[in-house]
Chains A and B, each alone.
Chain A
Amino acid sequence: MGGEVVVVEGLVKRFKDVVAVNGVSFVVRRGEIYGLLGPNGAGKTTTIHVLTTLLKPTSGRVYVAGHDVLKEPDEVRRKIGIVFQDPSLDNQLTAYDNMYVHGRLYGLRGDSLRRKIMELLEFVDLREFAHKQVKNFSGGMRRRLEIARSLLQEPEILFLDEPTIGLDPQTRAKIWDYIVSIKKEKNVTIIMTTHYMDEAEELCDRISIMDKGRIIAEGTADELKSILGSDVVYVRFRNNEGSEIPCIESSVVVKCGRVKDDMLELVVRDAASAIPEIFDAAGRLGLKIVEVSYRRPTLNEVFIHLTGKELRDSLEEAPVIARMGRRW
């Protein structure tokens, strides 16, 4: 245990006129699950593509498993496994043949390869479908097969790019189980990207929140949530004049921030007892409250706090970069 298996320093990746990754630095330690969390177009997939030698960095340094991705790409390739965001299976081959071709490309052969393939197909519950063609597989089965395939060469580091995107809730839960047991049983360092908060919170030991090509916060889920303190109350006011809503001063409000023109974000110790106080304080300022909601802080609140927008709303805001990162 211990030791840094991935070091990224000042990574920049520019596509023609779009900067997809803009100065990202982080370190991943051996044996942990490290998550890149952010909306589509944040630069997560591009970062993964640079780390897996599929794209060359514009500037910055990237070491994976002790090797520079620019100088020794083959050494890096030997030590990593990848599950891409988009499927990368050969539909015209059987599950077994997909595994077999992959194993041979990684220099495995003979009986030990055959045994390993069956073991891994067993691990992802696909053993009975070993000799069926992949074109008849469901989305979840394909995902599981790709996970099994990526483990064939016993990678030191496993990259999972949006491992549960487009899957139904039961299948997602199942993929989560596999990811947890990969970490436990096979002692593999995992780097994953996701735009699902619950996924990052459930699986990742440490999380980087990415937005617009930058890492805007990093830490464990608890550390990230402690940025906000305790409960968070959102109050929307009627704003006739379009003027700025003043912050509410009260003994119960720990911190007050403006999320939108007509909405305040109030950090309080206990929402239930603080809300009546907030109403009183608003009344004293002559403000009309239209809507109140409160949440225990989740990573979503952290994201709103850091960027001023909801994670799920960000889809439309960066369509150019989103398409750039997923051209295949």
Chain B
Amino acid sequence: MNGFLTMTYRQLKRFVNARSRLMMSIINPIIWLVFFGLGWSNVFNFPGARMIFGGLDYLTYLASGMVAMTIMMGSFISGVSVIWDKQFGFLKETLVAPVSRAEVILGRAFGDSLVTVFQGAVILFLMYFIAPNINLVGAAPALFYGLLLSMGFTSFGITLSLKLSSSEGFQMIVNLITMPLLFMSGVFYPIDNMPDWMKAVAYVNPMTYAVDGMRYWLTGVSRFDPLIDVGVLTVLTLVLAVLAVRVYSRATIED
């Protein structure tokens, strides 16, 4: 467990030492909720509009998705720290240490996931003031779904940055991937109303199940059974984590 715990410690300590990261991660979802959410909630104010969103008012619907969005974006971005580690040489330090590579990379992903889920928790708390219909009692299980989601996407971010060498390239690819995944996940609108090809993507998108599961615990409304959500999410996260471990285990300084 040495490698795992040590890397978790390191990622947490880095976050504590660079607290400004917290502000950055909070501002984005707040902007979405205020400008996008408040705007559309007045549009969806006609009789029967609630039917579209499973009986929820739009602000509550969107707010419950925003927590998952915060966690997803934060997870991808934390992968970029691997590129910094390459550039500042710390990656060599971990490559030459006599510990299991799997532990190092999973510990690192776990540490970053804890940070991201913490950011999600802060957002959840702030959302409550804008959309007070959210059920705070369900926060703990909802954040557990967030942790699974975060482990998956952090692993994916790490895999990407091990393969890439510039942070600019990483940012570009992340934007290219995250935006479509967000729109095809049910954060902004229910997946049932999507065209068939979008639905197909939504069904294999880990984000869909995280959003759905978190929405269940925060509002009581969900598209799937929350147990199915947690099951699918676990499987997808495991696949992404195994991928990260495999790529990192083969890493040499030639990459």
Q: Give the B-binding residues of A (Cβ under 8 A).
A: 15, 49, 52-56, 74, 77-78, 82, 84, 86-94, 97, 101-102, 104-107, 109, 133, 327-328
A87–B86 alpha-carbon span in the complex (Å): 11
- The answer to whether the Cβ of B99 comes within 8 Å of any Cβ in the partner chain is yes
Contact of B98 among A56, A77, A133 (CB under 8 A): A77
Judging by beta carbons under 8 Å apart, are B6 and A88 in contact?
no
Do A104 and B5 contact each other (CB < 8 Å), given the known contacts A52-B96, A88-B88, A88-B89? Answer: yes
Chain B residue numbers with a CB within 8 Å of A15 are 254
A55–B14 alpha-carbon span in the complex (Å): 29
Closest 8 A-B residue pairs measured CB to CB? A88-B89, A104-B6, A77-B98, A105-B97, A78-B98, A88-B93, A92-B14, A101-B10
Contact of B9 among A78, A89, A94, A101 (CB under 8 A): A101
Judging by beta carbons under 8 Å apart, are A90 and B90 in contact?
yes
A68–B130 alpha-carbon span in the complex (Å): 63
Judging by beta carbons under 8 Å apart, are B2 and A328 in contact?
no
B232-252, CB under 8 A of A: which get 1 and which 0? 000000000000000000001
Chain A residue numbers with a CB within 8 Å of B94 are 105
Contact of A54 among B17, B88, B253 (CB under 8 A): B253
- The answer to whether the Cβ of B91 comes within 8 Å of any Cβ in the partner chain is yes
A89–B252 alpha-carbon span in the complex (Å): 18
Contact of B90 among A74, A89, A133, A327 (CB under 8 A): A89
Judging by beta carbons under 8 Å apart, are A92 and B18 in contact?
yes
Judging by beta carbons under 8 Å apart, are B3 and A105 in contact?
yes
Do A133 and B252 contact each other (CB < 8 Å), given the known contacts A87-B89, A90-B88, A105-B6? Answer: no
- The answer to whether the Cβ of B92 comes within 8 Å of any Cβ in the partner chain is yes
A107–B98 alpha-carbon span in the complex (Å): 9
Q: Is the interface of B mostly helix, strand, loop or mixed?
A: helix
Contact of B13 among A89, A93, A106, A327 (CB under 8 A): A93
Which one of A97, A106, A328 has the greatest number of beta carbons of chain B within 10 Å?
A328
A167–B6 alpha-carbon span in the complex (Å): 32
Judging by beta carbons under 8 Å apart, are B253 and A87 in contact?
no
A78–B2 alpha-carbon span in the complex (Å): 14
Do A101 and B6 contact each other (CB < 8 Å), given the known contacts A55-B253, A55-B254? Answer: yes
Do A87 and B10 contact each other (CB < 8 Å), given the known contacts A53-B96, A74-B98, A102-B93? Answer: no
Chain B residue numbers with a CB within 8 Å of A54 are 92, 95-96, 252-253
Judging by beta carbons under 8 Å apart, are A91 and B10 in contact?
no
- The answer to whether the Cβ of B87 comes within 8 Å of any Cβ in the partner chain is yes
Residues facing A in B182-201 (CB within 8 A) are none
Judging by beta carbons under 8 Å apart, are B13 and A328 in contact?
no
Smallest CB separation, A148 vs chain B (Å): 14
Smallest CB separation, B148 vs chain A (Å): 26
Chain B residue numbers with a CB within 8 Å of A84 are 89, 92
Judging by beta carbons under 8 Å apart, are B90 and A82 in contact?
no
Judging by beta carbons under 8 Å apart, are B253 and A77 in contact?
no
Chain A residue numbers with a CB within 8 Å of B91 are 328
Given A101-B10, A107-B99, 19 more A-B residue pairs with CB atoms under 8 Å apart are: A55-B252, A77-B97, A86-B89, A87-B88, A89-B90, A90-B14, A93-B13, A93-B14, A93-B17, A94-B17, A101-B6, A104-B2, A105-B98, A105-B99, A105-B104, A106-B99, A107-B98, A328-B92, A328-B253
Smallest CB separation, B30 vs chain A (Å): 26
Judging by beta carbons under 8 Å apart, are A82 and B2 in contact?
no
Smallest CB separation, A90 vs chain B (Å): 5
Judging by beta carbons under 8 Å apart, are B253 and A88 in contact?
no
Smallest CB separation, A226 vs chain B (Å): 38
Smallest CB separation, B108 vs chain A (Å): 11
Nearest B residue to A103 by beta-carbon distance? B6
Do A82 and B96 contact each other (CB < 8 Å), given the known contacts A93-B13, A101-B6? Answer: yes
Smallest CB separation, B74 vs chain A (Å): 17
Chain B residue numbers with a CB within 8 Å of A87 are 88-89
Chain A residue numbers with a CB within 8 Å of B99 are 105-107
Nearest B residue to A93 by beta-carbon distance? B13
A74–B249 alpha-carbon span in the complex (Å): 13
Contact of B92 among A56, A77, A88, A101 (CB under 8 A): A88
A94–B17 alpha-carbon span in the complex (Å): 9
B1-28, CB under 8 A of A: which get 1 and which 0? 0110110011001100110000000000
Which one of B2, B85, B94, B98 has the greatest number of beta carbons of chain A within 10 Å?
B98
Nearest B residue to A324 by beta-carbon distance? B254
Which one of B14, B87, B97 has the greatest number of beta carbons of chain A within 10 Å?
B97
